[in-house]
Structure 1
Amino acid sequence: MHLHSPEGGFATRADHAHCAAAIRDGSRSFHMASLVLPAHVRRPAYGLYAFCRLSDDAIDRDGGSLDAVARLRTRLARACDGAPHDAPADRAMADIMREYAIPRAAPEALLEGLAWDAEGRRYHTLEDLHAYAVRVAGAVGVTMTLMMGVRDAATLARACDLGVAMQLTNIARDVGEDARAGRVYLPLSWMREAGVDPEAFLAAPVASPAVKDIIARLLCEADALYARARDGVAHLPASCRPAILAAALIYADIGRALARGHAHDSISHRARVGGPRKLALLGKAIASAPFLTRGAPAPALAAAAGLIDAVAREPAIEITGRQPRMAAQFLQVLDMFERLERAERFGE
């Protein structure tokens, strides 16, 4: 089956604009990285982000209700069946599922992770935490990789590594915010080994030396996965590598900001990466992406095996899309830097 332009799909131009606004307003880091994606990948990436954002918002509005998850599952089933709910993100998701042969297991994994959040599930070991992170972030990495036309198991394993690394960074950054909301994502076995009682910590979150050591340990695990994921970026189409590498560099730098600026205290502070630093990392990604080398194969995380197997069972389709010429990409990057610099200076 040959795949052509998604113009004949469910989503309209207005829907695509809505999805683009969702990522622009919701995540400056991902939006900045996405600007160097080729257009034929950028648009479905915005649709995927919009559906993920819609799902998060739906859970938040209902206070973490499992009923909200059930409604999202119904909407996802409709999108998968080609009868999307009347909303921009749903129509975009229906196009994505059809055009890129996304196995249902990928978005279903995301919703399962949200259900675990609604249940207030906690994670006893790092492997348990991996299982959660694969669902809420690794599944997104797999879907993005499929939208780039790459389906081999080794590259999908590295995409899961990157998603999990980003989620571990999120968890490390948000320990205090989560605790004040009554949630703990740090591995409970690590907390007990360090002499930190989870219930006492939730009752009075304090950045004790033991808690900061746990956060540092979690960031070390994330850094190891970022290193493995970097090998996978070299297997992506050349036009997609700068954006994915930029996202990895920017997110990894959140952990470094937490270590450098706040001594691993994410109870009293929330680590951020400023605009100028993001621009520098984006420039580094653009400059170094052409020279990435393919590393030695590494096994997938155990928690990711089922998701990768689901891709292998889904019939592949041919994705056609123009690869931008280098001159056009160079001009696009120059224009992007000009716009980002103006935004940083004048708040545009």
Structure 2
Amino acid sequence: MSNAGKTAQRRPKKVSPRTLAPSLILRPTPRQAGGGRYRHALVQKSYAMIAEGSKSFAAASRLFDPVTRERVWMLYAWCRRCDDIADGQEMGGELGNQSNIADRVKSIRILTRRALAGEPTADVAFDAFGQVASEVGLTMQHADDVIAGFELDAQDWRPRSEDDLARYCYHVAGAVGVMMAKVMGVQDDDEYTLDRACDLGLAFQLANIARDLDEDDRAGRCYLPMEWLAEEDIEPGQLMKPHHQWERADLASRLVLRMDRHAKAARLGTVRLPFRSRWAILAAANIYSEIGLEVRRRGPKAWDHRVVIPAWEKLRLITSAFFEAIRNNPLPPDEMPVWTRDAILLEVRMRGPIAEATMEPLPDGE
């Protein structure tokens, strides 16, 4: 056999893999609070969101000291953005397309985890959350308690009982109240103040539900317990019909009564706060309480026009809160709320941990 034939029969020589030199161009993304954005820019963008999304809360937030105020704005920005993503809306406007809510909620959790890990999210509101979380010690458990409320909406969930309503109000507002207390410097072992902060969030949500019965009905939602509707002989889907106007007013009044108890209980927790934080919280409690009380005063006509507190009335309520903060001696409610943070959390935790979100890409168009 020729030398050429022998060469052709030889096996190819094995080549050992070589370690590549570290790239001088591609480098791992550094982890940094705020996703690498400047804190000042995050604060300014966050304030723009609160100024457009909630004028009442924006007015009350001005009463905080500068550092707390900025942290409140950044926390609000995350809450507002999560709400908008889940509802397919823009800055709390009209509800958008309600399909694929589960995918949108999944994206909220993924972006939140990235923000808490200090990774960039390409979304100012989530980067702002990462920034404030690093400053005050907010955790994924705090965030998960809020995100669980969006998951309930994604499941087209409806409360059957008062306990169901309590759980929903905790997820969408009570848990935010707890995070807000953390932003104001309340420590994890100060359970009493955290409980009262939760009360304030519950009060806010009860006022919102009472005010927005018609808006929620148009979106195919109802947050009144089914047991309440059955007691009033209101057929499914008939809540906003004219022949149920008095029953509807009665149910709203029940919500407002609970709101009032929680708001008064929340005021008890302001005693331990610094003066400016106490003033701001009392002002917010006064404004939101007035929203609920105005719904009750209007009775069946409460949904002819959206209840809005005029600027002069807000100024009066803020001024009243100033003197309340100076006295620092809030009166307790005639009866403490039936719903307690401990009982709600027990129910929430017994339902088990929230499943880890998969990292599959979102559908086209999201």
Question: Which digits, 9 at most, give the CA deviation of each residue in 1:282-325, with x for residues without a partner?
Answer: 1111121121237789783345435999xxxxxxxxxxxxxxxx
Judged with a 3 Å threshold, the aligned counterparts in structure 2 of structure 1 residues 159 and 73 are, in CA distance, closer, same or farther, namely same
Find the residue that maps to 2:238 and give its secondary structure.
helix
Asked whether 1:300 is paired with 2:337, we answer: no
Find the residue that maps to 1:217 and give its secondary structure.
helix
Alignment of 1:169-184 (within 5 A): 169-184=207-222
For structure 2, list consecutive stretches of 5 or more residues without a partner in the other structure.
1-32, 89-96, 350-366
Measured in 2, the distance between the counterparts of 1:101 and 1:54 equals 20
Asked whether 1:34 is paired with 2:74, we answer: no
Measured in 2, the distance between the counterparts of 1:153 and 1:305 equals 13
**Following TM superposition, by how much is the alpha carbon of 1:8 offset from its aligned partner in structure 2, in angstroms?**
11
Find the residue that maps to 1:200 and give its secondary structure.
coil
Measured in 1, the distance between the counterparts of 2:245 and 2:343 equals 31
- One-letter amino acid matched to 1:163: G
Match of 2:98 in 1: 63
Equivalent residue for 2:281, pick from 244, 250, 255: 244
Match of 1:133 in 2: 169
More displaced stretch, 272-281 vs 59-68:
59-68
Asked whether 1:255 is paired with 2:292, we answer: yes
Alignment of 1:25-104 (within 5 A): 25-61=52-88, 63=98, 65-104=101-140
Judged with a 3 Å threshold, the aligned counterparts in structure 2 of structure 1 residues 291 and 250 are, in CA distance, closer, same or farther, namely same
Judged with a 3 Å threshold, the aligned counterparts in structure 2 of structure 1 residues 87 and 193 are, in CA distance, closer, same or farther, namely same
- One-letter amino acid matched to 2:261: A
- One-letter amino acid matched to 1:233: T
RCO higher in structure (CA 8 A, sep ≥6) = 1
Measured in 2, the distance between the counterparts of 1:215 and 1:112 equals 25
**Following TM superposition, by how much is the alpha carbon of 1:37 offset from its aligned partner in structure 2, in angstroms?**
0.5
Measured in 2, the distance between the counterparts of 1:11 and 1:162 equals 32
Contact in 1 for aligned 2:246/2:300 (Cα 8 Å): no
**Following TM superposition, by how much is the alpha carbon of 1:82 offset from its aligned partner in structure 2, in angstroms?**
1.6
Question: Which digits, 9 at most, give the CA deviation of each residue in 1:104-147, with x for residues without a partner?
Answer: 22111111101111222100112211101111111111111111
Instruction: Please tell me whether Structure 1 or Structure 2 has the larger radius of gyration of its CA atoms.
Output: 2
**Following TM superposition, by how much is the alpha carbon of 1:60 offset from its aligned partner in structure 2, in angstroms?**
2.4
Measured in 2, the distance between the counterparts of 1:210 and 1:8 equals 50
Contact in 2 for aligned 1:235/1:294 (Cα 8 Å): no
Match of 1:274 in 2: 310
Match of 1:228 in 2: 265
Find the residue that maps to 1:263 and give its secondary structure.
helix
Asked whether 1:194 is paired with 2:229, we answer: no
Measured in 2, the distance between the counterparts of 1:308 and 1:240 equals 29
Alignment of 1:138-177 (within 5 A): 138-151=174-187, 152-177=190-215
Contact in 2 for aligned 1:176/1:205 (Cα 8 Å): no
- One-letter amino acid matched to 1:56: D
The structure with the greater share of residues assigned to helix is 1
Measured in 2, the distance between the counterparts of 1:12 and 1:176 equals 39
Structure 1 runs of 4+ off > 6 angstroms?
6-9, 294-299
Match of 2:93 in 1: none
Measured in 2, the distance between the counterparts of 1:27 and 1:282 equals 16
For structure 1, list consecutive stretches of 5 or more residues without a partner in the other structure.
1-5, 310-348
Contact in 1 for aligned 2:169/2:202 (Cα 8 Å): yes
Judged with a 3 Å threshold, the aligned counterparts in structure 2 of structure 1 residues 69 and 209 are, in CA distance, closer, same or farther, namely same
Measured in 1, the distance between the counterparts of 2:128 and 2:233 equals 48
- One-letter amino acid matched to 1:300: T
Measured in 2, the distance between the counterparts of 1:137 and 1:199 equals 25
Measured in 2, the distance between the counterparts of 1:273 and 1:245 equals 16
Alignment of 1:198-213 (within 5 A): 198-201=236-239, 204=241, 207-213=244-250
**Following TM superposition, by how much is the alpha carbon of 1:238 offset from its aligned partner in structure 2, in angstroms?**
2.0
CA RMSD of aligned residues (A): 2.5
- One-letter amino acid matched to 1:196: I
Equivalent residue for 1:286, pick from 299, 322, 329: 322
Asked whether 1:16 is paired with 2:51, we answer: no
Question: Which digits, 9 at most, give the CA deviation of each residue in 1:48-100, with x for residues without a partner?
Answer: 11111111111222526110000010001111112131222122111222211
Measured in 2, the distance between the counterparts of 1:123 and 1:308 equals 14
- One-letter amino acid matched to 2:283: A
Judged with a 3 Å threshold, the aligned counterparts in structure 2 of structure 1 residues 71 and 254 are, in CA distance, closer, same or farther, namely same
Identity across aligned pairs (percent)?
A: 36
**Following TM superposition, by how much is the alpha carbon of 1:205 offset from its aligned partner in structure 2, in angstroms?**
6.5
Judged with a 3 Å threshold, the aligned counterparts in structure 2 of structure 1 residues 307 and 195 are, in CA distance, closer, same or farther, namely closer
